[in-house]
Amino acid sequence: MHTQCSDYDSALLTGDQILNTSLICLAKYHLIKECGDRTMMDAFNRLLAKNYLMRNDGRTREQVRFTHLNIKPDEISSQKTRQTAEWVAGLTSVGSIECQPTTDCPIVLAVYMGQMSLLDGNKRVRWWLNHEDKELHRIHIHTVTAVGEFVEHEPIV
């Protein structure tokens, strides 16, 4: 079950408005208590760990279901830009499932250990590519400036 907007803890927001916007959007679609997410940063750290371990360690989605990194907001440098879907697809892997965009959230990218990962917006980017969309879209890029540790979170029931 996904967390509702009313479940967001505004005390967990950071001093970085770009990161805050991304965290709220990630929480809206990806904060999953059954995967051990307690906070918006947990959702960010789980998605980042999943992308990194599946790409570099050959693990499956199920093997990394509860795995999170322990990155803190002050270890992230954020920027925003406007780019095309082709630009995003040229930087990182985009899946095959598409969904017509229904949100005003930005595409969320993260750079960890020199590797770009698409944390949110995969289905929107695929939709835009399949429909030859050439518009500039909002992109948030979060560069992690530290090396985190992988930690397992227990599901919240």
Give residue 74's pLDDT.
95
Residue 24 contacts residue 14 (beta carbons within 8 Å):
no
Which pTM does this prediction carry? 0.87
Residue 134 falls inside a structural domain: yes
Which H/E stretch holds residue 102? none
Is residue 87 situated within a structural domain?
yes
Q: How many domains does the structure of the chain reveal? A: 1
Would 61 be classed as within a structural domain? yes
Amino acid (1-letter code) at residue 86: E
Do the Cβ atoms of 36 and 42 come closer than 8 Å? yes
Chunked into runs of 10 residues, the chain (157 residues) has average pLDDT values of 42 80 93 94 96 90 93 96 94 71 89 95 91 96 97 92
Range of the domain at 82: 5-152
CA–CA dist 32, 156 (Å, integer) = 9
Burial class (CB in 10 A: 0-12, 13-18, 19+), 128: buried
The span from the CA of 33 to the CA of 53, in Å, is 20
Q: How far apart are CA 21 and CA 141, in angstroms?
A: 12
In a domain, 157, yes or no: no
